[in-house]
A and B are shown apart, each in its own frame.
Chain A
């Protein structure tokens, strides 16, 4: 992987622009495989490295946090949930119905160097963020150089 990092600009719009460019550059990055359930499944995911491990982010607006299930098994991270509709009484009719309702299950495979048993997930403002730390054994180690 080429060395590349996203540096947020102190100017808000500049920060968003450079973030958008960075996300565009890694769109469906062929060098990073998610296993069988790759691009095309709901929800779309973005995968980042925060230095300590991977951060998987998915947009899931309108889900109840208690209804979002995240499980890790070996190398497989699975997200499942269901989005219910809002309605009520006295409905005359729907003018637009663009938001999909229903259930989903998405599994992605992470490289072996990440430890799903220590993963942590957070759901805020309709965005799910899962942090998966790197295994201790996979962290870079300084190799001492001996002199003769």
Chain B
């Protein structure tokens, strides 16, 4: 991908999904890349640490939640703001068969990286063609 000057894209508020937790929720930006043996996802969730993230996979639906810690703002009085903060939520239906027991997740610099290994039956198989 050609490097560019980063555009200013406003955080996307979560819509059309009622949450039990009150307040604004945001939809994190995601990259999803398919590799030969796995899917990898990168999810931007600034302010979320590995202690405040939840990833679940059930019935082929992957749910990603990130929670921000409002206590980081204790004692701070706003003077001027350009963005709001809130918890992150996003879900995907996986079309690929994923080996749930081998899912890997790590959090670094506010980005969640997920590795979803393809299940054996979903792997492409080369079929040997014999000469007649």
Interface residues of A (CB under 8 A from B): 1, 4-6, 8, 12-13, 15-17, 19-20, 22-29, 32, 34, 39-51, 54-55, 59-65, 82-83, 85-88, 90-104, 123, 125-127
Q: How many residues of B contact A (CB 8 A)?
A: 53
**Complex contact B109–A64 (CB within 8 A):** yes
Expressed in whole angstroms, the minimum distance between the Cβ of B25 and any Cβ of chain A is 10
Question: B81 at the A/B interface (Cβ < 8 Å)?
Answer: yes
Contact of A6 with B77 at beta-carbon distance under 8 Å, contacts A100-B9, A125-B49 already known: yes
Question: B16 at the A/B interface (Cβ < 8 Å)?
Answer: no
Expressed in whole angstroms, the minimum distance between the Cβ of B59 and any Cβ of chain A is 20
Question: CB-CB < 8 A to A123: which residues of B?
Answer: 109
User: Quick one: which of A12, A26, A47 contacts B70, CB cutoff 8 A?
Assistant: A12
Expressed in whole angstroms, the minimum distance between the Cβ of B14 and any Cβ of chain A is 13
Expressed in whole angstroms, the minimum distance between the Cβ of A33 and any Cβ of chain B is 8
Mask: chain B, 73-101; 1 = CB below 8 Å from A; 0 = not:
11111111111111100000000000000
Question: CB-CB < 8 A to B21: which residues of A?
Answer: 13
Contact of A47 with B80 at beta-carbon distance under 8 Å, contacts A59-B110, A100-B6 already known: yes
**Complex contact A62–B23 (CB within 8 A):** no
**Complex contact B4–A100 (CB within 8 A):** yes
Interface residues of B (CB under 8 A from A): 1, 3-10, 21-24, 29-37, 39, 42, 44-49, 68, 70-71, 73-87, 107, 109-111, 113
Alpha-carbon separation in the docked complex, A40 to B32 (Å): 27
Of residues B7, B22, B84, which shows the largest number of chain A Cβ atoms within 10 Å of its Cβ?
Answer: B84
Contact of A34 with B80 at beta-carbon distance under 8 Å, contacts A83-B6, A104-B5 already known: yes
User: Quick one: which of A25, A82, A92, A126 contacts B36, CB cutoff 8 A?
Assistant: A92
**Complex contact B3–A59 (CB within 8 A):** no
Of residues B24, B36, B83, B86, which shows the largest number of chain A Cβ atoms within 10 Å of its Cβ?
Answer: B83
**Complex contact A99–B3 (CB within 8 A):** no
Question: CB-CB < 8 A to B78: which residues of A?
Answer: 6, 22-23, 25-26, 29, 46-48
User: Quick one: which of A46, A64, A98, A103 contacts B82, CB cutoff 8 A?
Assistant: A46
Contact of A49 with B33 at beta-carbon distance under 8 Å, contacts A26-B81, A40-B8, A102-B4 already known: no
**Complex contact B30–A103 (CB within 8 A):** no
